[in-house]
Structure 1
Amino acid sequence: MTTRLSRSLFLHVALVVQSLSAAFFVGDLWSEVLGLRSWLLPWAVQEYIQVFASVGLIVGVISSALFVRHSRKRIAAMGRQIDVVQGHFQTHIEDLFDAWKLSSSERAVAIYAMKGFSNREIAELRGKSQSTVKTQLNAVFRKSGRNTRQQLTAFLVEELISGATVEATQ
């Protein structure tokens, strides 16, 4: 069973349990208020039902909170994907660089590295030494959690195309 399907099943089960629990409490309340109670259950049985209904309501509230949290994360991810599709990839890259706490020099070196420039070429373009560029590039790798230019570029390309689906050809 896929994760999405199991989450959906759990959410539906929790909704049914919460609905039955709420129906019990509302029915119990109104049957007392309107004097419609025609059956009597032993007090111990009634307490067990109330305990289970209370647990059902708590499970429903917790699962709803988890669902809302998961939904907010998915909405944020979709928002990033929409920004990328709308041509805001630069903004997305800047957000990643902010999260990685890259300096302006490290950002420039990262962009040049992603474009395929060598350390020597980056040094010439920026008017810096190759050792400075190498130090800044190593800082980018460390802060981003990547080890090579290829990993950095592949990660950023994956960010660009995440969510895109490929249809199988026959």
Structure 2
Amino acid sequence: MPSIQSAPGRSRFSPRLIGPIAVVALQAVAASYFVVDGIDDLIEQAGRGFSVEVMMECLVALALLAGVVLGARHLRRIAGDLARADDALARARGALADHIAHRFDTWSLTRGESDVALFALKGCDVAEISRLRGAAPGTVRAQLSQVYAKAGVGSQAMLMSLFLEDLLDTDPAAGPQRGE
């Protein structure tokens, strides 16, 4: 059966974080410059007293430094949230793949029927499945007919609805349940 799980050993770094990381890094460089400049100005004016301008520069540098720290902490939290969401998605995909495999085993699908059924669940039509499997359209239609018969359904939409009902875990006769 074709795999629907993500590749194991995938990197934990998300490309979605490149922009925010670059902004925090740029802020860190700017903060470093202003802090060093502020310290230099303070040392230079230490004997003559401090001007309002130097004090404001130091205050701005400290505010920028605080922004870098807060931004980095926020970015770290977001990265953790993203990693947890990716893990949850991977677990859900794995559970769905296991559930599909269990259903296919319960229905005693052959390997070819399992492949065709999985492509049907992914929304492929007969022509696409035929092309993807390198099989004649008639063969694919025959395999789909066998899958539908073994699953007790009459169409691709009904096959999909079996799995959707399992995910929703509700009684289809009960109708939609809102706000419980």
Q: TM-score, structure 2 length as denominator?
A: 0.44
Question: More relative contact order in 1 or in 2 (CA 8 Å, sep 6+)?
Answer: 2
Larger-Rg structure: 2
